Amino acid sequence: MNFADLHTDTNQTILVDMNTKKANRLFFVTILFSISISMLLSLMTLTGFELPFIPNMISSELILMLPALSFALCSGDHMNTLFPFHRIRISTGLLTLLYTILVIPMTVFLNALSMLFVDNTVLEMSDDFLKWPMWITVLLVGVYGPFCEECVFRGVMLQSYRRSGRVLGAMILSSVLFGLMHLNFNQASYAIVIGFMLAMLVEATGSLWTSVICHALFNTENVVMMYVEQKYAPELLKQTNDMSDQAYHQMLIQQIGVYGAVAAVCTLLAVLLVFKIAEHEGRGKYFHSIWKKDRSAEKMVLQKKTGFITVPLVLAILVAIGFMIISV
């Protein structure tokens, strides 16, 4: 390697280090904003003022998007690098639908497992959702929310971290941060796993469209089920609320047993399917290499690896976990 090549590699490594550090600072700022707004809304509720559902949903996602957009504009990267909305085949979109269906049992299993220790956060918010027409809730929770979150976590976060040369590590870290962003143990328990499954989709296809589609379908399914249960099985929720703690935990254990077996099979099929999706999109060799010891995929991103951990990242994680503990 001559001096010019060494100088180029050094500059590239410095740029990647800066992007990683900026991404960590971005998450730190996002967590502080989210917690501050959450505490402010709680204080306002004590005074009798409650922010309506629609502005609440819009503002909560803007807290994520605005810092991420600022990061993107100041990073020096092309927008297509941080937000890779590349075209995908129609057949890939249909395979993504099947992938989403296969992922759902795993999320139900993890949700039930977490409910042995903490409350179901989404269920607690369902009354606010159900006050509005279903199309509004689907638009906000099923479309708007997933689009914003995918831009931040599979867009800015994942794309920044993966340039460190550690693609698998980038997928894991961005997924953990996605879970922590929810600021409660219930949603975090399955959001981390969903985040990883979504990151797999993005790496398999090279496009954010697949993760947006999957995330939107997942959220929309949850919203529709809320409205269906309200209309056709309102007594089911009442029976659950009237259960004793012992009976409730027994019911959860039964659900965990049933969904655990189904989730194991479906998740395995989902993993096999995402490999097929990668081959279908012409990224099979790259996607396979992510999981190999030689990390060929990582070498394709950057030869010289850099680290993830910085002080702002550690502080952000500690603050998020601390808030979650206090909330419980």
Is residue 117 helix, strand or coil?
A: coil
pLDDT-based confidence at 14, cuts 50/70/90? very low
Q: Average pLDDT, stretch 180-200?
A: 96
Q: Tell me if 304 sits within 8 A of 13, measured CB to CB.
A: yes
- Please write the tens of the pLDDT for every residue from 151-182: 999 999 999 998 888 899 999 999 999 999 99
* Entry field: residues in the chain: 328
SS (H, E, C) 16-42: HHHHHHHHHHHHHHHHHHHHHHHHHHH
In angstroms, the Cα distances linking 81 to 20, 86, 122, 150 are: 14, 10, 33, 14
pLDDT-based confidence at 6, cuts 50/70/90? very low
The mean of the pLDDT values for the chain is 86
Q: Tell me if 202 sits within 8 A of 211, measured CB to CB.
A: yes
Burial of 76 (0-12, 13-18, 19+ CB in 10 A): exposed
pLDDT at residue 297 in the model: 57
Q: Average pLDDT, stretch 290-311?
A: 67
Tokens representing 46 are 């004590």
pLDDT-based confidence at 240, cuts 50/70/90? low
pLDDT at residue 20 in the model: 84
- Please write the tens of the pLDDT for every residue from 264-292: 999 999 999 999 999 999 999 999 999 98
pLDDT-based confidence at 8, cuts 50/70/90? very low
